[in-house]
Amino acid sequence: MYRLITVALLSALLPGAGVLAAPPAAPPANPIDKLYAQVTPSLVAVQYTLDTELGRRDLCEGGVVVSSDGMVIAPLAMFAPVIPDVQMKDFKIIVPRHLAEPREVNAIFLGRDERTGLAVLKPQSSEGVKWVPVNFQEIPIQVGEPVISVGLLPKAAGYRSYVSRSRVAAEIHGAVPLMLVASGQLTVTGSVVLDAQGQAIGFVNATAGQQILLNDNQNRLAAIINPPTFFVPTSDFRLTLKDPPVAGHPMKLPWIGLPQVASLRKDVAQFFHLENQPAVEIGDVIPGSPGDLAGLKRGMKIVKLNGQPLQCGDDPNDVAQIFARKILRMKVGQKITLSVLTDSNQPLKQVTVTLGERPPGVSTAKRFYDDALGLAVRQIVFADTYVRKLPADQKGVIVALLKPQGPAQVAKLQDEDLILQMNGKPVTGVEEFKKDFQQLRRTQPQEPIVFVVLRQGQEQTVRIEAPQ
Amino acid sequence: MACSAAHGPNSRKQGLLAWGPGVLLLCLGLLSGCGSLPWAEPFPAATPRRVVEVTQLIFPAVVRLDVAKEVYRQGKRSVERGIGSGVIIDAQGHILTNYHVAGRATQIDITLANKERVKGRLIGDDHWTDLAVVQMDMDEIHRRHISFNWATMGRSDNLVPGEVVMAVGTPFGLARTMTLGVISNADRTFYDVAPHLRIDGEYETGEFSNWIQMDTPINPGNSGGPLVDMNGKVIGINTRGGGQNLNFAVPIDTAREVVRAILRTATPEHKGYVERSDLGLDLMPLQGLETFYNIDINHGVLINSVERGSPADKAGVRSQDILLAINDHPVNVRFPEQIAPARKMIADLPVGSTVILTLRRGSRVLKLPVKTWRLLSAVGEERELKRWGMSVRQITPAYAAEHQLDDTLGAIVTTMSPGLPASKAELRPGDIIRRVNGKVVRDVDAIAGLYRQTLTQKDGLVLLQVQRGRGLQSFVLKLSGAEDDPDAAAPVPLPEGTAPPR
């Protein structure tokens, strides 16, 4: 009954979107039917269980099979780098079936690819499943060209595929070098975009504000109520298809050590005689980073990368983001040459930088949770020391989660507090914290625990009543 | 005034003996400035008659204040108008009110109880206690033969919950409004919910005394008006309304000291002020921590944090030390209510004096000499840089500590005028200008000087090096039609009869 209501709702929500509720029994009669039938077997949903200290929740979004062994790409948004890897469990590839329950295939998470904004999974076993990959093509796309997108309806509609016609309305050049705007509606995030000839030319990746979950329990149809209007061409994610992440080996990303790079505004560029030359200004250099070792300094203006002028987007302020993304798509150990202006009257200086490896982020940081205290802590990472102006080798653990109304929250411990001491003993890392904490609870179960934390540059003493 | 002069600090108990209820209001209404009823009891019954008598006594001393205040908005120095209350406290026409009513005032109009209106001037202010002192234009008072009454300040150290009190003021502009209630708590602290209160989100306040909490209705416009006991004496200045009958007044004992300090330091040219000492310590009550630190109950106070670069930091004081005594005077803070008095103990030390702190560090007891410095707000002096279209503020040590800045060099952008160079260059409030045309900015005086130099630049291009977050960034201001404007960046002359800010 619910499904009937859902289909009725969908018909009302998607006027002109060409919703095809059931695959035709006879061979497709028109090109859209044909394209729909061609792509449907390649569309899957990807799901994992987010297993946090406070509870479990299944998250599901659309994905596309890209290889005959079942490799699937999906928007990175659902696998955001701030989510600890250890909290993502029970990966599944959900294969929709006509007039039958979708088939759930256990999957392996290959990893995130921040270069392209994708996550990649593959099935643990392909037994009984025939994977039909989409062959993405790098074909120039013209404004005005008609396009067709095919994606999956939410779980509430049985993950059935649906199709929508649209037209390329504009090109946007920004941090993502080329993004295309559709004049009509596209199908849900995680859909394939085809040209009139049926060639797969792009992917509907997640954009800010777009609902991506296909199994949102609060609003079952959230993913299609506000349909996407942007897609990226194959060239944007070709890197992932050629060089996908490897399971258990987080992708090594290049790092130059310039955390504050700003696009040079037009009037500042004129002041430094850099008219019509896109440039970025170095705002900060991490000591000991590749940029620092190469001699880059605050205030220098980068004008060229490997002899090529920096690229300017539609908005001049995008230069810095485009530059950062270019670096991100390079290799660790790669040598690059930056042409920098040190002073307005000086010739450009050539600086060669050997790209290092980006320091680990929070997704791989070790964690420890104590339910009685209602407190999860995690290992300190480079970004934590940078924002707090602390030395890179600063010891301590970061408050990662506070259970609502738990003793730690009631005692006014705060998210992102850096715990420096526990009962007078310096905290060095998560393992030591865990060991000392458990010993304290064993030997002094009735005694309060006293933390010294660093919060906004000031030390604070926090006394937590012994959990009973 | 004669009748009130007989009431000393212990007048409640003495008064009960000295004055019988039969001694009626012989002098009431005959003597201007009669600040209290001619009898005093510890907690006189708030009979209908008593309430009326106290109201009649206090009304003539309460004024309405219409204030124009100095504010910086959209890159310009301008004024903001508001209405508040005040209470006349002496024959010289001094009026006690709140800082958030009359602090930074450039123009004050005073409406007396007899509905006469006179000009006033700001004598001094103190945002730390949210108090200000205003004086009526006494020449005008004499010239126009205007009479006025003044109230007597009582005591606030012996108030008890349940005692009946009244508030008088100008809620929503409705002058001479009396409301009645009781003291709900005579020693209220907000330490647990908001350890550091701010006025307008900026100016530190409520640090050095606890509050009188009462259920007497208070509304906007009541601020600065008196809270009066049933002896007709002012026991507090109505300051904060918390809604649902939770209202708060600054105790008169705090106000009395502030008034004295302001009147002592005020000159015709400069505002009066309260000078306080600072050591750079954030104190924390020890309740529940005594066992952990192995100390006796109600013995010492925990040093929660030490401000970087402060006198205590330089002297080697560390967070987690227990401060036991200052110059051998014990400092004991077990409960949150004891925090404000401990802060006041430090604030009352002579500025620049060397004091000996007795500290407990682990099992050791240390004595460290520390030279106090003057307590400064995180809110620094503000300047208007008119042609740049922005206002800037001094970076004080407290601001630098709060924002984790490495030093106090530069000037903070506070506001900008839309369409003028700073706004066009996309500067933002909170940016710190470190250099102007390559020259280091030390403080607001320096930036004002550099600003003036740029006004005569032929090309009209000003290169700013700005710190935004942890990054440095260049900005260029394009000044159109550069011309000499020597008065720019200097304090704008204030209206006649108003003392400039100190």
Residues of A in contact with B461 (CB under 8 A): 271
Residues of B in contact with A448 (CB under 8 A): 288-289, 292
Beta carbons of B473 and A450 less than 8 Å apart: no
Beta carbons of B472 and A298 less than 8 Å apart: yes
Residue in B304, B471, B472 closest to A459 by CB: B304
Residues of B in contact with A460 (CB under 8 A): 304-305
Beta carbons of A265 and B468 less than 8 Å apart: no
Q: How far is A260 from chain B (nearest CA, A)?
A: 5
| Candidates A261, A264, A268, partner chain B, best to mutate (most B CBs within 10 A) | A268
Which pLDDT score is estimated for B155?
95
- Spatial CB neighbours of A403, under 8 Å, sequence gap ≥ 6: A53, A54, A371, A374, A375, A409
Beta carbons of A260 and B470 less than 8 Å apart: yes
Residue in A281, A388, A459 closest to B319 by CB: A459
Give SS3 for A328. helix
Chain B residues at the A interface, defined by Cβ less than 8 Å, are 282, 284, 288-289, 291-292, 302, 304-308, 319-320, 401-402, 404, 406, 425-426, 461, 463, 465, 468-476, 478
Nearest partner of B149 among B86, B95, B108, B88, judged by Cα: B88
Beta carbons of A260 and B289 less than 8 Å apart: no
Question: Which chain B residue has its CA at the smallest distance from A423's CA?
Answer: B292
Residue in B284, B472, B476 closest to A283 by CB: B472
Are both B182 and B143 inside the same structural domain?
yes
Are both B176 and B271 inside the same structural domain?
yes
Are both B331 and B188 inside the same structural domain?
no
Which pLDDT score is estimated for B130?
97
Q: What length is written for chain B?
A: 502
Largest CA distance in chain B: 85
* DSSP H or E run through B391: strand B390-394
Beta carbons of B289 and A450 less than 8 Å apart: yes
Model-level pTM?
A: 0.84
d(C-alpha A117, C-alpha B191), whole Å: 46
Domain assignment present for B484: no
Domain assignment present for B495: no
Nearest partner of A133 among A192, A64, A193, A233, judged by Cα: A64
Beta carbons of B305 and A456 less than 8 Å apart: no
Q: How far is A364 from chain B (nearest CA, A)?
A: 25
Regions of chain A with pLDDT less than 70: 1-30
Question: Which chain A residue has its CA at the smallest distance from B461's CA?
Answer: A271
Are both B7 and B111 inside the same structural domain?
yes
Residues of A in contact with B292 (CB under 8 A): 423-424, 447-448, 450, 463
Are both B261 and B332 inside the same structural domain?
no
Domain assignment present for B412: yes
The secondary structure of residue B272, as a DSSP letter, is: B
CATH value at residue B441: 2.30.42.10
> What is the tally of structural domains in chain B?
3
Confirm whether A254-357 and A365-464 share one CATH topology.
yes
Architecture of domain A254-357: Roll (2.30)
Question: Which chain B residue has its CA at the smallest distance from A280's CA?
Answer: B473
Domain assignment present for B496: no
Q: How far is B473 from chain A (nearest CA, A)?
A: 6
Which pLDDT score is estimated for A6?
44
Nearest partner of B131 among B246, B264, B265, B273, judged by Cα: B273
Which pLDDT score is estimated for A276?
86
Are both B388 and B426 inside the same structural domain?
yes
Regions of chain B with pLDDT less than 70: 1-41, 481-502
Q: How far is B117 from chain A (nearest CA, A)?
A: 49
Beta carbons of B474 and A299 less than 8 Å apart: yes
Residues of B in contact with A269 (CB under 8 A): none
Beta carbons of B476 and A463 less than 8 Å apart: no
| CATH numeric code, A365-464 | 2.30.42.10
Domain boundary, last residue among B241, B275, B309: B275
Q: Which domain holds residue B325?
A: 277-374
d(C-alpha B318, C-alpha A417), whole Å: 19
Beta carbons of A283 and B284 less than 8 Å apart: no
Which pLDDT score is estimated for A100?
85
- Could you identify the residue written with the tokens 């000159």? B267
What's the burial of B425, exposed, middle or buried (CB within 10 Å: 0-12/13-18/19+)?
A: buried
Which pLDDT score is estimated for A466?
80
| Candidates A267, A289, A410, A440, partner chain B, best to mutate (most B CBs within 10 A) | A267
- Can you give the residue ranges of every domain in chain A? 40-123, 254-357, 365-464
Residues of B in contact with A440 (CB under 8 A): none
Which pLDDT score is estimated for A113?
96
Interface predicted TM-score (ipTM): 0.84
Q: How far is A303 from chain B (nearest CA, A)?
A: 15
Are both B471 and B390 inside the same structural domain?
yes
Q: How far is A330 from chain B (nearest CA, A)?
A: 24
User: How many contacts (CB atoms, under 8 Å) link A and B?
Assistant: 88
A346-381 CB burial, b ≥16 within 10 A, e <16: eebeebebebbebbeebbebebbbbeebbbbbbbbb
d(C-alpha B107, C-alpha B68), whole Å: 5
- Spatial CB neighbours of A352, under 8 Å, sequence gap ≥ 6: A294, A335, A336, A337, A338
Are both B270 and B168 inside the same structural domain?
yes
Are both B370 and B400 inside the same structural domain?
no
Beta carbons of B465 and A271 less than 8 Å apart: no
Domain assignment present for B403: yes
Domain assignment present for B493: no
Residue in A270, A387, A463 closest to B288 by CB: A463
Tens digit of each residue's pLDDT (9 = 90 or more) over B43-92? 788 999 999 999 999 999 999 999 999 888 888 888 899 999 999 999 99
Domain assignment present for B94: yes
Which pLDDT score is estimated for B44?
84
Residue in B468, B472, B476 closest to A268 by CB: B476
Beta carbons of B319 and A267 less than 8 Å apart: no
Which pLDDT score is estimated for B5?
28
Beta carbons of B471 and A259 less than 8 Å apart: yes
- Spatial CB neighbours of A46, under 8 Å, sequence gap ≥ 6: A60, A61, A62, A63, A72, A74, A78, A91, A92, A93, A94, A107, A119, A121
Tens digit of each residue's pLDDT (9 = 90 or more) over A262-319? 999 999 999 999 988 999 999 999 999 999 999 999 999 999 999 999 999 998 889 9
Which pLDDT score is estimated for A14?
46
CA–chain centroid gap for A435, Å, is 33
Domain boundary, last residue among B374, B398, B427: B374
Nearest partner of B108 among B133, B128, B75, B145, judged by Cα: B133
In this structure, what are the phi and psi dihedrals at residue A160, rounded to the nearest 5 degrees? -75, 150
Residues of A in contact with B291 (CB under 8 A): 447
Q: What is the DSSP string of B402-439?
A: HTT-S-S-SEEEEEE-TTSHHHHTT--TT-EEEEETTE
Domain assignment present for B500: no
Tens digit of each residue's pLDDT (9 = 90 or more) over A389-446? 999 899 999 999 999 999 999 999 999 999 999 999 999 999 999 999 999 999 988 8
Which pLDDT score is estimated for A210?
85
Beta carbons of B470 and A457 less than 8 Å apart: no
Chain A residues at the B interface, defined by Cβ less than 8 Å, are 259-260, 262, 264-265, 267-268, 270-272, 281, 283-284, 298-299, 386-389, 421, 423-424, 447-448, 450, 452, 456-461, 463
Residues of B in contact with A446 (CB under 8 A): none
d(C-alpha A269, C-alpha B474), whole Å: 10
CATH value at residue B219: 2.40.10.120
Are both B265 and B359 inside the same structural domain?
no
Are both B117 and B210 inside the same structural domain?
yes
Question: Which chain B residue has its CA at the smallest distance from A263's CA?
Answer: B473
Are both B178 and B65 inside the same structural domain?
yes
Beta carbons of B463 and A458 less than 8 Å apart: no
Count of Cβ atoms closer than 10 Å to residue B405 Cβ: 19
Q: CATH number for A40-123: choose from 3.30.300.20, 1.10.150.120, 2.40.10.10, 1.10.490.20.
A: 2.40.10.10
